[in-house]
């Protein structure tokens, strides 16, 4: 019996338009930057409705020892300095190299960001991480968190799966 699930067990890849592809690739670049610094390979970029980059971040948990230092939470924290209105945040998009975990989905919800585009999904990511207890996550989809929101949060992904997966190759302990 194979330890890898069949390909149809994974969510299908979403095709992106040029704008979404461009910014998701920026988040993927940040995932590689985080990995080069010894962190988990995740990156995030927040972009306004008019295309202004509002925040860019990578996961810095290994550098800081802060377990909440995921790329998305770091990006959301950066938004606080910008003093954006609720409307500006609701029309913004966060691009994440990986599907947001439960904590990050909560931070996105609380920030008021209205749109999420992500690369590798949690199911595929679990194959990279393996079955070690210190590398497990809460197996709750970000979509479940966003569905419970009283305000709409559009969620698009997985997308650019091969590109988003590249930073994870060899990055996780086995």
Task: Name every residue whose Cβ is closer than 8 Å to that of residue 20 and which is 6 or more positions away in sequence.
Answer: 93, 95, 117, 156, 159
Q: Is 72 a catalytic residue?
A: yes
CA–CA separation, 115 and 146 (whole Å): 10
Which is catalytic among the residues 18, 63, 72, 131? 72
Cβ distance 159 to 15 under 8 Å?
A: yes
CA–CA separation, 47 and 52 (whole Å): 5
The string of DSSP letters for 119-156 reads: EE-HHHHHHHHTT-GGG------HHHHHHT-SS--EEE
CA–CA separation, 26 and 33 (whole Å): 11
Q: How many CA atoms lie within 13 A of 162 on its CB side?
A: 1
Residues marked as catalytic: 72
């Amino acid at each position: 019996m194979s330890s890898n699930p069949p390909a149809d067990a994974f969510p299908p890849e979403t095709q992106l338009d040029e704008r979404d592809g461009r910014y998701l690739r920026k988040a993927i670049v940040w995932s590689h930057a985080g990995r080069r610094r010894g962190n988990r390979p995740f990156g995030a970029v927040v972009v306004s409705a008019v295309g202004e980059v509002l925040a860019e971040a990578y996961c810095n948990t290994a550098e800081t020892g802060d377990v909440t230092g995921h790329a998305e939470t770091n990006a959301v924290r950066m938004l606080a300095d910008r003093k954006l209105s609720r409307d500006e945040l609701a029309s913004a998009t966060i691009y994440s190299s990986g599907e947001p975990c439960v904590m990050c989905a909560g931070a996105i919800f609380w920030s008021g960001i209205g749109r999420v585009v992500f690369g590798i999904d949690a199911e595929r990511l679990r194959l990279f991480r393996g079955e070690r207890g210190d590398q497990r996550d809460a197996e709750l989809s970000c979509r479940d968190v966003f569905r419970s929101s009283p305000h709409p949060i559009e969620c698009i992904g997985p997308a650019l799966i091969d590109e988003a997966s590249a930073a994870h190759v060899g990055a996780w302990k086995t």
